[in-house]
Structure 1
């Protein structure tokens, strides 16, 4: 099943979650001391999407997700488990602590026997989207229009007689299994044969849960919730029209449903009511031991816990970061959603109060006590070494990026061809000669400045006026950076290179490249909305293994040779200098 990845960003037209501000952050160091190529700096322990959760008890809980992500909770801390696969894991269920099944993409099935994980043969190469069982020798999984069954000896495919793909499976016990899927599809298995059921719904159903024989609940897109009374399915009003992806309950009169945008609904036996999750992350699964010990998981490594009265964050749930830039030898700043600003002083990433709740898209600084960040509605804030304060930009147009040759020569660019200039005392409008949205700005000097934007737009400033250049592409360009006036890169669907005379296409990507940064002519980095990371060694562009599928928006490297990337879910990844040098 293809889960909707989030609301479309107005700015960049790509998918990504909208999530809650955090006030505690990890250090600049990697999450582990090993010399791995990439390590999570934020969030911790990791920030990939979590798609399923299950446990044998409150001190033995597993969750699984994107790129083979697996974590275990021992009652006090979450730790990363090596799943042995990079395939996305979609479902988990077990009969006990020494009998756990995990399913995922490309026919992946893993089994845990209490001491080690092993690969099981599924007999399919298709995605397996959900798993449930009534016991150790009666386990079911859904894959396309098939239901896979495990009888204690091996997995084999069964035909439920459906034409629509199935997305989830659940039941109350042996001989009482429900599978749900696209366009309201529901089938029931009584231990001998499958029976198609009339759901009365046309929406895709993405979750199913059964508290007891003759009772079941299914949920799906547009907030649809169906109840089964042993004879018929009926539609219940769920409240918010959110996509719902997970169901679990402590009993027939106490059921939780979770979905996009931090949606959590609770059923009290009569009505479904919305409850505050405290986050805007997308929640994809829910599970608990009882009504006072419930977990919900989702985008950006989000893990929430409910203690019977309130939901609290255990991990993730951070707002997106859009740009990162270094200032001086030890300082770096990252800016993002809802006015979020982080500063790294060489040892730790710390949150700073920006004084605004408006999205900040770009950051640049001349020194650690003179940093500028720009954002929506013409927002410009300045850091003087101790606090951020608002500046008058003279415009209400969104500003997306900022760059300067020095403290008194700064350019900010944004929507509708807007360019404003700072001379060290005031901001004033410049005539760009364009009305297209501009997304990035960089220069090699005060008289050699470039800005890029929609429709392949590249404008050049020679110290007196802006003029249009032939970029060689009609695709949007999202960022620009260079090594010198003769070696500049602009990125979008393609990578355009400027040699001082002409722009030419040097690479074509399958994803939107959102950020670019250069350490030198043989060390150039670009990041993509798909989580892809590219590196140029002076000869070729090559994909560098990335530990995430989160959208990545910005990249920067420090003087020690480390590289940092930022993105959705508060993602900060660090690639250590030794890995970078060997790339």
Structure 2
């Protein structure tokens, strides 16, 4: 299964520098896989998506959150694994009926598993998951088959087959479904006939006939946010302004109690028995603990530096609490104190760099922050370089020796893996743009004009005299397989094959000298001395296998919104994009066939940094999203079975402009799959995109108006939780130029020179 490959996420004591309580005893490191891609979390740990709710059946528990996150633990919250729930929609509701049966949902999505999360099936309360008339607000299941659902318009439904079929019950009084304007908030059933529901106006209703009728039993005067029952008789209602109410007669009557914590907004409650309870708060800054069902004032607890939105009991003493950015804490004294599970690096980061040492990579950040992994991205440690500036580049030719560059142009050297650093002088006041060390003794300071080189470990630097780079504006440098180096700037690409002593200028792409002169270079990425990619200022991607003598534009990319790129071999590369079709987020495009096709990957919600991808040859790929989310992949970012996309049209050459139909096929056909068809047409600025539905047989259709000239079309699919994404080859459609009109009689042909 797609996410089942990710084993339990670890408790990492000391693997990540964090603040607050010390992590409890560490377990073996493994990483939670994300979304429908093959990327795994390295920071934060266990994972980085915000968690909203948790539910336990003994030591087996489930947690849900943003980006379709559904996690499982079998040891009371010490370790977690990701489950293939099959949606990216945020999940806010979860109920563990027993160790094998879990229901989860949010928005227009609900899922059920009866095999411990190995497989999931839809709880079909709405016919279309992409949109629904009313969204899921609450659920209450008494068995794997019998349960009740509350929608946000007040509608109540029941099912006796686990969610395949539903019967409508009477809507909650006063809500939109009953002709009113009150918003519902919670539902809880204690038997097949007896249940309680609440609304934001503070009213609590009870039914004894499975929702056929409802009776008002209490008016709290404040919004009720959640209901929870320890058994058929003892239950609790919590809500706004410190609302805490208790029932001991199955919900017939309710008694308010003051926990002495002020007007906190209580969002959820979980108890062990009918006395000991933990209440979550809306802001997540505190938990409130009561050991006697509120007879005496409770205790306000701050369990973590991150907001905690859910807490649940796995045993009378074990509590697991989860929240923002995947923060996870654990208590073994019934919630009196908490310790971290995993953690998160401090600091903000902007770029990621792979080292020459296999399995080692670095992330550079503000105020000298330097994060490092030595285990292929499974865990990261926080280090620093002695500078108040932001690090912009780093280069480690070995485990011990490395060089770093800050945004003020300061260059630093370490000889002990980053424990201590020495400041170097380049002999110039210029602020370098990049640093590269092809070996321990050789280091290059690149730009802003020309480059300076040292062959004594940075003790002295000399300006490069090669004409290709001596006066050129330079922005970056990369090392390719075999020792070749490539430096580039807005107008220049140059190659060195002797460690930076001498340089040769490479020709830029372009069909004419004028076009080549006009082209501006944004980035280059070479995998060998002859093969590499170039991104120009217009977002076009070019490829050469002849060290610049011949360039080919890679039109199958399907977008000009490319922010960054990296190559891992002559045929494999990544592009960073912040949008795919009409959706924004953390997207990559990857090719494994030299750019003939590009596979989209939806990795995380956060945008991926422009310099946030590193793909060293033959090893692990690394990714930085947002300011601190670090992920890695050993599968090229792919997961699931291989898929294939093709495009066709009846005629690829037309005599005149027309509306055409572009057809395609996706195999295997994913359930509710949607393909993005992009077009680049003459006279239109940039690529345009249509998102189209895929039929059950895998076919899809898009219509386009094509003008004179050549229009290019590409289809791409991000994949789902069973199959990897895919991209088609470019389909070209050419409309011939209009025939020239014959010259008028007596026209220009008869005129002579004066």
**Pairwise TM-score range, normalised by the shorter structure:** 0.5 to 0.7
Aligned residue among 207, 217, 222 for 2:238: 217
Contact kept, 8 Å, 2:276 with 2:289, in 1: the verdict is: yes
Q: TM-score, normalised by structure 2?
A: 0.52
| TM-superposed deviation, 1:257 | 1.2
| TM-superposed deviation, 1:231 | 6.6
The structure having more radius of gyration, on CA atoms, is 2
Distance 1:78 1:318, change over 3 A: same
Write out aligned runs for 1:351-500 (5 A): 351-354=381-384, 362-365=392-395, 367-368=397-398, 369-372=401-404, 374=406, 383-389=414-420, 403-404=434-435, 407-410=443-446, 442-443=476-477, 448-449=488-489, 481-483=523-525, 488-489=534-535, 495=539
| TM-superposed deviation, 1:190 | 0.8
Structure 2 equivalent of residue 576 of structure 1: 635
Structure 2 equivalent of residue 62 of structure 1: 62
Structure 2 equivalent of residue 177 of structure 1: 196
Distance in 2 (CA, whole Å) between partners of 1:252 and 1:354 is 48
Contact kept, 8 Å, 1:139 with 1:150, in 2: the verdict is: yes
Distance in 1 (CA, whole Å) between partners of 2:75 and 2:362 is 35
Structure 2 equivalent of residue 302 of structure 1: 327
Distance 1:227 1:532, change over 3 A: same
SS at match of 2:489: strand
Structure 2 equivalent of residue 534 of structure 1: 589
Distance 1:384 1:90, change over 3 A: same
Residues 19-56 of structure 1, C-alpha deviation per residue, up to 9 Å, x if partnerless? 85999999999879xxx844445556654443321112
- 2:136 is the alignment partner of 1:128: yes
Contact kept, 8 Å, 1:209 with 1:218, in 2: the verdict is: no
Aligned residue among 105, 108, 112 for 1:103: 105
- 2:594 is the alignment partner of 1:545: no
SS at match of 1:190: strand
- Structure number with the bigger relative contact order (C-alpha 8 A, sep ≥ 6) is 1
Distance in 2 (CA, whole Å) between partners of 1:545 and 1:316 is 26
Residues 272-291 of structure 1, C-alpha deviation per residue, up to 9 Å, x if partnerless? 654232342x4332211466
- 2:99 is the alignment partner of 1:91: no
Distance 1:497 1:373, change over 3 A: same
- 2:624 is the alignment partner of 1:566: yes
Distance in 2 (CA, whole Å) between partners of 1:165 and 1:530 is 35
Distance in 1 (CA, whole Å) between partners of 2:599 and 2:447 is 32
Contact kept, 8 Å, 1:254 with 1:291, in 2: the verdict is: no
Distance 1:26 1:342, change over 3 A: farther
| TM-superposed deviation, 1:558 | 1.0
What are structure 2's unaligned runs of at least 5 residues?
1-16, 208-212, 247-252, 426-430, 438-442, 462-473, 479-484, 492-520, 579-583, 643-725, 727-754
Distance in 2 (CA, whole Å) between partners of 1:90 and 1:483 is 42
Distance 1:325 1:122, change over 3 A: same
Structure 1 equivalent of residue 152 of structure 2: 144
Distance in 2 (CA, whole Å) between partners of 1:249 and 1:513 is 50
| TM-superposed deviation, 1:110 | 0.8
Contact kept, 8 Å, 2:242 with 2:263, in 1: the verdict is: no
Structure 1 equivalent of residue 303 of structure 2: 277
What are structure 1's unaligned runs of at least 5 residues?
1-17, 395-399, 413-420, 428-439, 452-478
Structure 2 equivalent of residue 188 of structure 1: 204
SS at match of 1:532: strand
| TM-superposed deviation, 1:233 | 7.9
Residues 257-305 of structure 1, C-alpha deviation per residue, up to 9 Å, x if partnerless? 1555x6232144355654232342x433221146632111234443321
- 2:135 is the alignment partner of 1:119: no
How many matched pairs? 493
Structure 2 equivalent of residue 517 of structure 1: 566
Structure 2 equivalent of residue 454 of structure 1: none
Structure 1 equivalent of residue 243 of structure 2: 226
Contact kept, 8 Å, 1:19 with 1:318, in 2: the verdict is: yes
Distance 1:578 1:335, change over 3 A: closer
Distance 1:177 1:447, change over 3 A: same
Contact kept, 8 Å, 2:588 with 2:603, in 1: the verdict is: no
Contact kept, 8 Å, 2:446 with 2:477, in 1: the verdict is: no
Distance 1:540 1:25, change over 3 A: farther
More strand by share: 1
| TM-superposed deviation, 1:179 | 4.3
Distance 1:177 1:348, change over 3 A: closer
Distance in 1 (CA, whole Å) between partners of 2:324 and 2:125 is 30
Contact kept, 8 Å, 1:132 with 1:169, in 2: the verdict is: no
